[in-house]
């Protein structure tokens, strides 16, 4: 039997992404041993009960000991603390990666905690569902989806290549990107859609009770798709917005300008302008279908 890609992998966090990685690593025989930790005792107990890991630890320092690959799968607001907790326990030659939805802040918060001879290769699998927690994971989550890696300049090429291989064997296609560029692209493809979905569902929540019941009843007209997106993990998303502030505010500014223009067209009955706008948006949908990301 071929040797696993890594002898020992440590996961810091076993929510949707962490638990899916457990399943994908088992499927691909990628880890000789999966160690993990989680912030809450309930999550640690649940993950152990589900048999997701080979060893469960009380805190990051213990989990990363002896690990060849460490993957941080926690809300990005927790990274600075996690970095401090594991810093002195990392093995020389270890690779530290993550799955956070923002990348400049990850390098800012984890970078200083990396000892000499430890390689930081931040990553972001562009995949997910609206479910959270260790029960939510499944091996196929990453199949056919993109994983973006954002190694800082000068990162060891072999370490990057091993992380690329890891994600390929998890089913993903891999792209290397500059961290700042990642944060801009994801601000529009992921962060703004989530912010908008959270907003509109919140707007509905403020309607009087009787109307709100009808909103639920007749949600099939478009609203329910927004509620699915707006059911994502609140803490994870709080941290995304706090840690990608500039890019989100920039793209939100553009969005608001466009929405105001359409609002004006509705108020003044400018049908041609509306139709023209609604027609050109179809091209992007075709592109997504062609790219097999639909």
Residues 236-255 that bind a second copy (CB under 8 A): 237-239, 241-242, 245, 248-249, 251-252, 254-255
Closest by Cα among 30, 106, 14 to 63: 14
- Shortest Å distance, C-beta 193 to a second copy: 4
- Shortest Å distance, C-beta 174 to a second copy: 12
- Shortest Å distance, C-beta 228 to a second copy: 7
- Shortest Å distance, C-beta 167 to a second copy: 14
106 binds a second copy (CB under 8 A): no
Closest by Cα among 265, 128, 145 to 193: 128
180 binds a second copy (CB under 8 A): no
Scanning 3-11, 33-41, 84-92, 179-187 for contacts with a second copy by CB under 8 A, the matching segment is 179-187
Contacts of residue 264, Cβ cutoff 8 Å, sequence gap at least 6: 270
SS3 assignment for the chain: CCCCCEEEEEEECCCHHHHHHHHHHHHHCCEEEEEEECCCHHHHHHHHHCCCCCEEECCHHHHHCCCCEEEECCCHHHHHHHHHHHHHHCCCCCEEEECCCCCHHHHHHHHHHCCCCCEECCEEECCCCCCCCHHHCCHHHHCCCEEEECCCCCCCHHHHHHHHHHHHHCCCEEEECCHHHHHHHHHHHHHHHHHHHHHHHHHHHCCCHHHHHHHHHCHHHCHHHHHHHCCCCHHHHHHHHHHCHHHHHHHHHHHHHHHHHHHHHHHCCCHHHHHHHHHHCHHHHHHHHHCCCC
200 binds a second copy (CB under 8 A): yes
Of 93 and 287, CB closest to a second copy: 287
Q: Which residues 201-240 are close enough to bind a second copy by CB under 8 A?
A: 201-207, 211-212, 214-232, 234-235, 237-239
Exactly one of 65, 156, 165, 175 binds a second copy (CB under 8 A); that residue is: 175
- Contacts with a second copy by CB under 8 A: the residue count is 92
Q: Which residues 57-76 are close enough to bind a second copy by CB under 8 A?
A: none
- Shortest Å distance, C-beta 129 to a second copy: 11
- Shortest Å distance, C-beta 276 to a second copy: 8
- Shortest Å distance, C-beta 179 to a second copy: 14
Of 82 and 230, CB closest to a second copy: 230
45 binds a second copy (CB under 8 A): no
196 binds a second copy (CB under 8 A): yes
Q: Which residues 273-292 are close enough to bind a second copy by CB under 8 A?
A: 274-275, 277-285, 287-288, 291
């Amino acid at each position: 039997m071929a040797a696993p890609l890594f002898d020992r992998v440590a996961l810091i966090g076993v929510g949707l992404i962490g638990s899916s990685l457990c399943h994908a690593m088992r499927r691909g025989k990628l880890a000789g041993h999966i160690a993990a930790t989680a912030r809450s005792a309930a999550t640690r107990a649940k993950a152990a009960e589900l048999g997701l890991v080979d060893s469960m630890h009380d805190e990051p320092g213990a989990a990363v000991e002896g690990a060849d690959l460490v993957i941080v799968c926690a809300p990005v607001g927790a990274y600075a603390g996690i970095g401090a907790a594991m810093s002195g326990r990392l093995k020389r030659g270890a690779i530290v990666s993550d799955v956070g939805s923002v990348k400049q802040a990850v390098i800012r918060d984890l970078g200083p905690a990396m000892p000499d001879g430890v390689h930081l290769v931040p990553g972001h699998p562009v995949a997910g569902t609206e479910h959270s927690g260790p029960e939510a994971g499944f091996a196929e989550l990453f199949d056919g989806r993109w994983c973006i890696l954002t190694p800082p300049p000068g990162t060891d090429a072999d370490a990057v290549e091993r992380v690329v291989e890891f994600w390929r064997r998890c089913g993903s296609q891999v792209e290397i990107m500059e961290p700042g560029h990642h944060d801009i692209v994801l601000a529009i493809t992921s962060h703004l859609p989530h912010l908008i979905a959270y907003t509109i569902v919140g707007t509905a929540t403020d309607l009087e009770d009787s109307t709100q019941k009808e909103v639920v009843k007749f949600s099939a007209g478009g609203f329910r798709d927004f509620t699915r997106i707006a059911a994502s993990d609140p803490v994870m998303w709080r941290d995304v917005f706090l840690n990608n502030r500039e890019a989100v505010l920039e793209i939100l500014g553009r969005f608001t300008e466009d929405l105001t223009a359409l609002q004006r067209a509705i108020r003044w009955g400018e049908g041609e302008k509306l139709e023209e706008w609604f027609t050109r948006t179809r091209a992007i949908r075709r592109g997504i279908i062609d790219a097999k990301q639909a």
